[in-house]
Amino acid sequence: MGGYPQDADAKKAIKALRKDFQWIYDDNVGSSAHICGWLLCRDGCRMRVFSTARNSARAIWSGARKCTHGHAPTRPHW
């Protein structure tokens, strides 16, 4: 069940990471009921994106800030 999270702010966060920081969003997750995709930096960091989690956008930005390859945003950019 790939796709984007239900939260509109989470969608904006994913799109900003893809556009401004060259992250990759992969929604090929098979038949997972809770995971809607993976965010990957181009050098190996990856994190799961959940479809119905609360504060999805905050979780996405927090996870992206942990990137150790120079693709980490310092603040939300939307």
Q: Does residue 46 sit within a domain?
A: yes
For the segment 9-24, the average pLDDT, to the nearest whole number, is: 91
Work out the pLDDT band at 75, boundaries 50, 70, 90. Answer: low
Whole-model pTM?
0.82
pLDDT at 4 over 60: yes
- Map residue 70 onto helix, strand or coil: coil
For the segment 52-63, the average pLDDT, to the nearest whole number, is: 84
Q: Does residue 77 sit within a domain?
A: no
For the segment 29-53, the average pLDDT, to the nearest whole number, is: 85
Q: Give the domain extent around 33.
A: 8-65
Q: Does residue 18 sit within a domain?
A: yes
The pLDDT value recorded for residue 50 is: 86
Q: Are 29 and 51 in contact (CB under 8 A)?
A: no
pLDDT at 71 over 90: no
Q: How many domains does the chain have?
A: 1
Residues 35 and 5: their CA atoms lie apart, in Å, by: 9
